[in-house]
Amino acid sequence: MTDQNTGALKVLWFLPTHGDGRYLGTSHGGRPVDLAYLRQIAQSADQLGYYGVLLPTGRSCEDSWVVASALAPLTERLRFLVAVRPGLQSPSVAARMTATLDRLSNGRLLINVVTGGDPVENAGDGIFLDHGERYEVTREFLDVYQRLLKGETVNHSGKHLRIEDGRLLFEPVQSGGPPLYFGGSSEPAIEVAANTVDKYLTWGEPPAQVAEKIATVRAAAAKAGRDVTFGIRLHAIVRETDAEAWAAADKLISHLDDETIASAQKVFARMDSVGQARMSKLHGGRRDKLEISPNLWAGVGLVRGGAGTALVGSPETVAERMREYQAAGVDTFIMSGYPHLEEAWRFGEMVLPLLPLDQPVERHAQAANTGPFGETIGNDVRPSAASAS
């Protein structure tokens, strides 16, 4: 594995608009996810110095555009990675939505292009296209969408889309529109990535597999005369020691039974997503061999679709594993953990300081109670860095 990226990293967190809790696959320890809770997570991520937050999309989630619009005025620097859905949205309407939210957030919008890999959910949304056709639509959609955001007047007549005199009257803040993020492991998906997007995303496979995928996409982009950067979507279970982290991983699935696992895997099996098939193959629905690579744990994927792996360990261990992905070419990490509020703080305080961040945490000298220092001892003395034994 060769060093492809040794520079600064972008680290994003995740807004759990599809639910949150202390355990997977059960209502025990679950918590309601309302605007007040999402505001806490977003403002914590903003304060801790995360580059942005990913908002998921699909019928299991609150609408990402509405949530981002509600949270943007409540944050200062945080960027919002929000999905456009080719085939589900008109590219012209999506471009107007994009330009509006980019202006209202003062240029803090990122776009996640999601083609969709569940035929059942797609049918519920009125999409009756096979795998290949969905990527044909994606290519046409992005052609129109990107041209509109660049200020062009678009007339397009293709196999799936027809646009006459398409144009934006109000431009986005970011010249040419927000950066495009996109993930997909099939050949049509890689072709889309190579020809249209800014950042290719992969789910958390072992580093060697990620390096191989990056090499494939990079070569395809070079053939198209383009450069693409790379990101990865992972969960994290960080504790002060490796042993404590592995205990926390076991606890996360301690209420998970075999019937629930089988039910989830049945849903994943119906999907025509190559990426989901690769995720499911990592564990095979079995809970006895979940460490698939050093400190890479596939337990989340037993019941969660999409990103199904977590980095498990001490802050130093997790940072070291992240540097392995960085060496493969990854410059952007989209992280999450259960529950998302507490784990945003845990990861932000314990791991972010160990990484070369693209956006360093701002410290306000005028704040009255700067730290960190912990609680004042005896109402008089600030604790030292290490307590006496």
**For 340-357, how does the pLDDT look when each residue is reduced to its tens digit (9 = 90+)?**
999 999 999 999 999 999
Tokens of 344: 């945003």
Is pLDDT above 80 for 12? yes
Say which amino acid occupies 129: L
Handedness of CA 42, 89, 223, 275 (dihedral sign): positive
Average pLDDT value over all residues in the chain: 89
Of 88 and 112, the one with more pLDDT: 112
CB 333 within 8 A of CB 22: no
Q: List pLDDT tens digits, range 273-328.
A: 676 777 667 666 677 789 999 999 999 988 887 788 999 999 999 999 999 999 99
Range scoring the smallest mean pLDDT among 143-152, 174-183, 318-327, 373-382:
373-382
pLDDT digits (tens, 9 = 90+) for 202-229: 989 999 999 999 999 999 999 999 999 9
Global pTM value:
0.90
Please write down the long-range contacts of 320-327, taking CB distance under 8 Å and 24 or more positions apart. 321/207, 321/294, 321/295, 321/296, 322/9, 322/351, 322/355, 324/1, 324/207, 325/207, 325/210, 325/232, 326/5, 326/6, 326/9, 327/1, 327/2, 327/3, 327/4, 327/5, 327/6, 327/207
Q: How confident is the model at residue 388 (pLDDT cuts 50, 70, 90)?
A: very low
Q: What percent of the chain has pLDDT over 70?
A: 89
What helix, strand, coil percent values describe the chain, rounded to 5? 40, 20, 40
Domains of the chain: 10-354 (3.20.20.30)
